[in-house]
Amino acid sequence: GPGARTSPRTKQNNPNSNVFAGFCKLGIIIMLFVFPKQVESLYPHPGWVELDPEVLWSQFIAVIKETVQAAGLHMRQIAGLGISTQRVTFITWHKKTGKPFHNFISWQDLRSAELVNSWNKSLLLKVIHVIFTVLHFLTGSDRYLAPSFLTFSTHQASMKLSWVFKNIHEVKAAKKNNCCFGTVDTWLLYRLTKGSVYATDYSNASSTGIFEPFTKCWSPTLCNLLSIPMSIFPPVKDTSFNFGSTDSEIFGIPIPIMAVVADQQSAMFGECCFHPGDVKLTMGTGGFWNVNTGEHLFASRGSLYPLIGWKIGEEVVYLTEGSISDIGTAIKWAQDIDETAEMAKSVADSQGVCFIPGLQVSGDDPYLCASFMGLNPSTNRNHLVRAILESVAFRNKLLYDIIVEKVNIPLRTIRADGGVSNNSFVMQMTSDLINKKIEKPANVDMSSLGAAFLAGLASGFWTDKKQLKKLRQIEAVFEPQKDSEEYRPAMDAWLQAMKHSPHW
Angle, vertex CA 259, rays to CA 257 and CA 263, nearest 5 = 125
Residues forming beta bridges with residue 304, ordered by sequence position: 301, 322
Please give the Cα distance from 204 to 243 (Å, whole number): 14
pLDDT at 64: 86
The alpha carbon of 452 is separated from its chain's Cα centroid by a whole number of angstroms, namely 17
The alpha carbon of 446 is separated from its chain's Cα centroid by a whole number of angstroms, namely 11
Query: Is residue 382 within 8 Å of 343, Cβ to Cβ?
Result: yes
Please give the Cα distance from 339 to 124 (Å, whole number): 50
pLDDT at 333: 56
Please give the Cα distance from 350 to 388 (Å, whole number): 9
- Strands 28-33 and 78-85 turn out to be parallel
pLDDT at 337: 57
Torsions phi, psi of 371, nearest 5?
-165, 160
Query: Is residue 355 within 8 Å of 361, Cβ to Cβ?
Result: no
- Strands 104-105 and 78-85 turn out to be unpaired
Please give the Cα distance from 100 to 95 (Å, whole number): 9
Burial bucket for residue 15 (CB in 10 Å: 0-12, 13-18, 19+)? buried
Rounded CA Rg of the chain? 22
Mention every residue, 6+ apart, whose C-beta is less than 8 A from residue 479: 3, 4, 5, 431, 437
Closest CA to 200 of 87, 315, 313: 87
Q: From first to last of the 504 residues of the chain, give the pLDDT tens digit.
A: 434 443 333 333 333 333 332 233 344 555 544 443 468 899 999 999 999 999 999 999 988 888 888 888 888 888 889 999 999 999 999 998 999 999 999 998 999 988 888 877 878 777 877 887 788 778 777 666 656 556 678 889 999 999 999 999 889 888 768 999 999 999 999 999 999 999 999 999 999 999 988 889 999 989 998 999 999 999 999 999 999 999 999 999 999 999 999 999 999 999 999 999 999 999 887 789 999 999 988 877 668 889 999 999 999 999 999 988 766 566 665 556 568 888 999 998 999 999 988 654 444 555 566 788 889 999 998 999 999 999 999 999 999 999 999 898 999 989 999 888 989 999 999 999 999 999 999 887 888 889 999 999 999 989 999 999 999 999 999 999 999 999 999 999 999 988 877 665
Please give the Cα distance from 91 to 100 (Å, whole number): 7
Return the DSSP state at 37: G
Angle, vertex CA 364, rays to CA 405 and CA 37, nearest 5 = 100
Angle, vertex CA 95, rays to CA 53 and CA 197, nearest 5 = 80
Total residues belonging to the chain = 504
Torsions phi, psi of 301, nearest 5?
-135, 100
Please give the Cα distance from 319 to 305 (Å, whole number): 8
pLDDT at 268: 96
Any idea of the CA torsion for 5, 10, 14, 19, to the nearest 10 degrees? -150
Residues forming beta bridges with residue 256, ordered by sequence position: 245
Considering the entire predicted model, what is its pTM?
A: 0.86
Terminus-to-terminus CA distance in the chain, angstroms?
A: 37
Residues forming beta bridges with residue 477, ordered by sequence position: 5, 439
